[in-house]
Structure 1
Amino acid sequence: MKKLSLVSLLVFLVVMAILPHLLDTRWQTVAVTFLVFSVVALSQDIVLGKAGMFNMGQAMFFGMGAYVTAILNSHFGWPIVATVPVAIVAPVLLGIVLAAPIVHLRGDYLLVVTIGFNIVFVQVLINNLGGVTGGPNGIFGIDPLRLFGFELSSQVAIYYYAFAVLLLTLAIMINLDKSKVGRALHYLREDPLAAESIGINTRLYKIFAFGLGAGIAGLAGSVFATQYSAVSPEAFEFIQSVLFFSIVLVGGSSIPGVLIGVFVMFVLPEIFREFSTWRFFVFGFAMILTMILRPRGIWPATFGKIPKFLIKEPKNGG
Structure 2
Amino acid sequence: MKHSDYYGYALFFLALVILPSFLDSRWQAVATTFIIFTIVALSQDVVLGKSGMFNMGQALFFGLGAYTSAICNTKLGMPLLASVPLAIIIPAFFGIILAGPIIHLRGDYLLVVTIGFNIVFVQALQNNLLGLTGGPNGIFGIDTLQIPGVDSGSQAAVYYICLAALVMVLMMLKNLETSKAGRALHYFREDPLAAESIGINTRAYKIFAFALGAGIAGLAGTLYANQYSAVSPEAFDFVQSVLFFSIVIVGGSSVPGIVLGVFVMFVLPEIFRDFATWRYFIFGFAMIFTMILRPCGIWPATYGKVPAYILKGKQHGKK
Q: Quote the residue 1:95 is aligned against.
A: 95
Cα distance change on mapping 1:95 and 1:178 into 2, 3 Å = same
Q: How far is 1:98 from its partner?
A: 0.2
Is 1:290 the counterpart of 2:290? The answer is yes
Report the TM-score, using the length of structure 2 for normalisation. Answer: 0.92
Q: How many residues are treated as equivalent by the alignment?
A: 306
CA distance in 2, matches of 1:128, 1:138: 8
Are the equivalent residues in 2 in contact too, given 1:65–1:218 (CA < 8 A)? yes
Q: Quote the residue 1:227 is aligned against.
A: 227
Q: How far is 1:144 from its partner?
A: 1.2
Q: How far is 1:150 from its partner?
A: 3.9
CA distance in 2, matches of 1:110, 1:283: 27
Cα distance change on mapping 1:279 and 1:220 into 2, 3 Å = farther
Report the TM-score, using the length of structure 1 for normalisation. Answer: 0.92
Higher alpha-carbon deviation: 290-299 or 259-268: 290-299
**Which SS does the other structure have where 1:185 is aligned?**
helix
Q: Quote the residue 1:245 is aligned against.
A: 245
Are the equivalent residues in 2 in contact too, given 1:61–1:218 (CA < 8 A)? yes
Are the equivalent residues in 2 in contact too, given 1:249–1:297 (CA < 8 A)? yes
**Which SS does the other structure have where 2:102 is aligned?**
coil
CA distance in 1, matches of 2:275, 2:269: 7
**Which SS does the other structure have where 1:50 is aligned?**
coil
Q: How far is 1:287 from its partner?
A: 3.5
CA distance in 1, matches of 2:105, 2:180: 24
CA distance in 1, matches of 2:48, 2:131: 34
Name the amino acid aligned to 1:168.
M
Are the equivalent residues in 1 in contact too, given 2:272–2:279 (CA < 8 A)? no
Q: How far is 1:194 from its partner?
A: 1.1
Q: How far is 1:288 from its partner?
A: 2.2
Name the amino acid aligned to 2:200.
I
Residues 1-318 of structure 1: pairs in structure 2 closer than 5 A: 2-148=2-148, 150-278=150-278, 280-281=280-281, 284-303=284-303
CA distance in 2, matches of 1:21, 1:135: 38
Are the equivalent residues in 1 in contact too, given 2:162–2:223 (CA < 8 A)? yes
CA distance in 2, matches of 1:237, 1:276: 21
CA distance in 2, matches of 1:116, 1:108: 12
Q: How far is 1:48 from its partner?
A: 0.2
CA distance in 2, matches of 1:32, 1:111: 29
**Which SS does the other structure have where 1:152 is aligned?**
coil
CA distance in 2, matches of 1:279, 1:53: 31
Cα distance change on mapping 1:142 and 1:266 into 2, 3 Å = same
CA distance in 2, matches of 1:48, 1:171: 19
Q: Deviations over 1:74-126 (max 9, x none)?
A: 01100011100000000000000000111110000000000000000000000
Identify unmatched segments of 5+ residues in structure 2.
Answer: 313-319
**Which SS does the other structure have where 2:133 is aligned?**
coil
CA distance in 2, matches of 1:100, 1:27: 41
Q: How far is 1:278 from its partner?
A: 4.7
Are the equivalent residues in 2 in contact too, given 1:53–1:106 (CA < 8 A)? yes
CA distance in 2, matches of 1:223, 1:29: 12
CA distance in 2, matches of 1:77, 1:214: 25
Q: CA RMSD for the aligned pairs?
A: 1.6
Q: Quote the residue 1:312 is aligned against.
A: none
Are the equivalent residues in 1 in contact too, given 2:150–2:157 (CA < 8 A)? no
Q: Among all aligned residue pairs of Structure 1 and Structure 2, give the percentage whose two residues are the same amino acid.
A: 68
Q: Quote the residue 2:316 is aligned against.
A: none
Cα distance change on mapping 1:184 and 1:286 into 2, 3 Å = farther
Are the equivalent residues in 2 in contact too, given 1:246–1:283 (CA < 8 A)? no
